[in-house]
Amino acid sequence: MGEQLRLMAVHAHPDDESSKGAATMAKYVAEGVDVLVVTCTGGERGSVLNPKLDRPEIWEQMATIRREEMERAREILGVRQAWLGFVDSGFPEGDPLPPLPEGCFGLESVEKAAAPLVKLMREFRPHVVTTYDEDGGYPHPDHVMCHKVSVAAFDAAGDPDSYPEYGEPWQPLKLYYQMSFSLPRVRALHEAMLAAGMESPYREWLEKWDPARDKSHRITTRVPCAEYFEVRDDALRAHATQVDPDGPWFHVPLEIQKKAWPTEDYELVRSLVERSDNEDDLFVGIRHLARM
């Protein structure tokens, strides 16, 4: 029996783990991989996006409710989960943009914010880490900070001179950016909906999409996980304040999704093992090491 494979997925808020890479995690859990979701903030400043729950008492208990939602999603996905303990920055809106609130995650120094993640990496000892790209997936300050902290912790966790107070060094072998939306994927889903005689929720989005900003050329890894799309959606619905069950997230029938785009996609950005730019598995180059 070899060493159990371990995957760490670092996210900004509770609910991000269920909208970004959730089917991949469910697939690996089913295969016996030990999966840990790391949630950087408590999501305290999140909005209530489900109109059925937009009530004063929900807003007043947001921090508690989001922890409860995270626990339900964690159980559905079958993963472990850890909080880094930082405070949600909120999404600044307006012109000019208002300053971020004092004490929030987005204003922490990367060195300080990476420390608890380094500690977790050394304790959990992941072979693979996933997070967001340099734009955070979208320009929320917590997503951008999540990217910075994840990269810094990946590089520091194996360095005995970095954060020596946080345990024995452990170097993860691969770091991926989760590439949730690409122009080819959205176009494929759009065209599949039209071919089925259904209205596409992506028409306006595609009309406004600047092809120069598409990152699909950076995708190195496509993980087949269509059979776990139901699990992904159930986990997302567990974040009831954050997702409208009648909203656009769920407009494309699962059977169409499974046929049009049956993978979740990633960019391999760090690798300490032999790399390939046409992968179908986050553990390429690692599985044989775990069996040794």
Q: Which residues are annotated as a binding site for Zn(2+)?
A: 13, 16, 143
Strand 263-271 relative to strand 6-11: parallel, antiparallel, unpaired? unpaired
CA 67 – CA 34 distance, rounded (Å): 21
Known binding residues are 13, 16, 143
DSSP string of 76-123, one letter each residue: HHT-EEEEEEEPP-----SSSPPPPPTT-GGGS-HHHHHHHHHHHHHH
- DSSP letter (8 states) at residue 12: S
43, 240 contact by CB (below 8 A): no
| Distances 16 to 13, 64, 91, 253 between C-alpha atoms, Å | 6, 17, 14, 21
- Exposed, middle or buried, 178 (CB in 10 Å: 0-12/13-18/19+)? buried
